[in-house]
Chains A and B, each alone.
Chain A
């Protein structure tokens, strides 16, 4: 009975989102601290423009290669096999929430550390990094809740199609950010 009560479900969903968001905010804030401690802003802006145009064109054109930078590492099954639900959630949340360790199918993720480095101010850099972590962790947790709700093997082709659309969207977003970065370079350098 308790399992179907909306309040229980809400609490479970909130704890799942928190398990993804909190590690993501901490990991990204640390990255913000690290990359803004050094004067990398100008270099990062130039790299954003180059990276954005290159991978933006690759993704907008629908080409599979070159693959975006990332890792193929996956959570070892031994970490979650036989573990209680709360520990599985904590492990997946800590690893998938920040998004650094596992596979990133879209190149947009690689742009995010550059955007943090481009800030060039420790306080705002950490704030932006934390916001990126919160956004990524929330998105990841909501995607998990979506997949649990509509999990269906017959949707594989639809899922592939959606992935292609997301990739194209990511490509155009990268191109737009590259344009923004060029103008930021023009005004700053």
Chain B
């Protein structure tokens, strides 16, 4: 993994932690991105039944 990618990965985790801290660890903080991931996951799959 390159330094740039490692830095971005650490930044993503840190962003999640800061947001989690800002909302006092409420479970909604996990629920909202889960819905967005579900939408992105459905949309990004190739059409291969």
The answer, among B5, B27, B39, B41, for a CB contact under 8 Å with A184, is B27
Are B33 and A103 in contact, CB atoms less than 8 angstroms apart?
no
Known contacts being A180-B20, A182-B20, is A139 close to B38, with CB within 8 Å? Answer: yes
A-B interface pairs (CB < 8 A), number: 185
Contacts of A45 in B (CB 8 A): 30
Interface of B is mostly: helix
Interface assignment of A29: CB less than 8 Å from any CB of chain B? no
Bound-complex Cα distance A120 to B42 (A): 25
The answer, among A92, A112, A178, for a CB contact under 8 Å with B38, is A112
Known contacts being A60-B9, A170-B37, A175-B16, is A180 close to B29, with CB within 8 Å? Answer: yes
Interface of A is mostly: helix
Known contacts being A105-B46, A175-B16, A183-B20, is A57 close to B40, with CB within 8 Å? Answer: no
Query: Shortest distance in angstroms between B3's beta carbon and chain A's nearest beta carbon?
Result: 12
The answer, among A120, A143, A178, A181, for a CB contact under 8 Å with B45, is A143
For B43, give the chain A residue with the smallest CB separation.
Answer: A139
A 159-180 to B, binary, CB cutoff 8 A, 1 in contact else 0: 1001100100111111111111
Which 3 pairs from chain A and chain B are nearest by CB?
A: A179-B16, A183-B20, A139-B42
A-B contact pairs, 25 of them (CB 8 A): A57-B9, A60-B1, A60-B8, A74-B49, A80-B49, A92-B49, A96-B49, A103-B45, A103-B48, A105-B46, A116-B34, A131-B38, A135-B36, A135-B38, A136-B41, A140-B43, A147-B46, A163-B44, A176-B16, A177-B30, A180-B17, A181-B30, A182-B13, A182-B20, A187-B20
Supply 16 further A-B pairs (C-beta < 8 A) apart from A136-B41, A141-B42, A179-B19.
A56-B12, A56-B13, A57-B9, A60-B12, A105-B44, A128-B34, A131-B35, A139-B42, A139-B44, A140-B42, A170-B41, A175-B12, A176-B33, A177-B34, A180-B16, A186-B25
